[in-house]
Amino acid sequence: MARVKTQQLESLIECLHEKRRGEVSLTDVLSLAEITAQSLQVFFETMDTAVYREMKEIAGYIERMRGEIGALQVDEIKGSRIPAAGQELGAIVKSTEGATNTIMECAEALMAADTSDVKAYEQLVQAKMMVIFEACSFQDITGQRIAKVVETLQNIESRVSRFASAVGPTGAGTQVFATEQEKARAERAERLLLNGPQLDGQAIDQHTVDDMFASPAPAKPVACSNQSSIDDLFK
C-alpha cells in the first residue's frame, strides 16, 4: 500500500514538472496533497505513539518522585526529629558533665581529707562513694537518650536511602557534598586522618604495637656532614 502511494506520488510530481510551464489544474494539486498526507500518516502515527510513550514514562517518573519526596516528610525531620535529637544530645552532654564534676569533687575531697581520724575518714569515704555511685547512674538515662538519637538517624537514613533508590544511581562510591565548606572539611579530615575514636576491632591492639617494638630494626649509620654541607642547605 505504501509502495503504491509512493508510485502515485512520483507520478504526480513528474506530471507537475512537465506542466510547470503550463497551467496546473486544481485537481492535480489536491490529489498531490491527499497522497502526501496519506503517505505521511503512518509516520505521524508512529511519532505520536513514541511521543506519547515517552511523555507517559516521564509523567510516571514525576509521580513516583512526588510520592518519594512526600514520603521523606522533610518538614517533620526539620521541625521535629532533628530538634528533638539535638535536645537529647544536649541533655547527654549536660548530664555527663554534671556526673564528671561530681566524681572529681568527691575524689578531690577524699584526697584532701584528714586520715588521722580513721573512723571519720571511713565515714567520709563511704559517703563519697555513695555520691559517686549515684552520679554514675546517669549512664542509664544517657543510654535511653542515645537510643532515641540513633532511632532518629536510622529513620532519616531509611527515608533518604529509599529516595536515593527511587531517583537512581548517582555513581558508586561518589560522595556528594552540600556545600564547598563541607567538602573542604571532609578533605581536611581525610588528610589529617581525623576519623575520631576507632571502634573495637578497627584500632591496632596493644599486642601488635608490642610486636613492632620487640625486634627493632638495626640503626643505619649516619653519614657525617661537614660545615660546608650544612651551610649549603641554608643558602
Residues 61-83 pLDDT 10s:
888 888 877 777 777 888 888 88
- Do 143 and 77 belong together in one domain? yes
Place 109 in a pLDDT band, splitting at 50, 70 and 90: very high
pLDDT the model gives residue 181: 79
- For the chain, the average pLDDT equals 75
| Domain encompassing residue 124 | 73-165
Place 22 in a pLDDT band, splitting at 50, 70 and 90: low
- Do 21 and 47 belong together in one domain? yes
Q: Are 153 and 85 in contact (CB under 8 A)?
A: yes
pLDDT the model gives residue 218: 53
pLDDT the model gives residue 157: 86
- Do 42 and 118 belong together in one domain? no
Residue at which a domain ends, from 119, 141, 165: 165
Residue at which a domain ends, from 131, 165, 199: 165
pLDDT the model gives residue 230: 64
Place 3 in a pLDDT band, splitting at 50, 70 and 90: very low
- The number of folded domains in the chain is 2
Residue 130 has pLDDT above 90, yes or no: yes
- Do 103 and 148 belong together in one domain? yes
Residue 216 lies in a domain: no
Residue 231 has pLDDT above 70, yes or no: no
- Do 85 and 139 belong together in one domain? yes
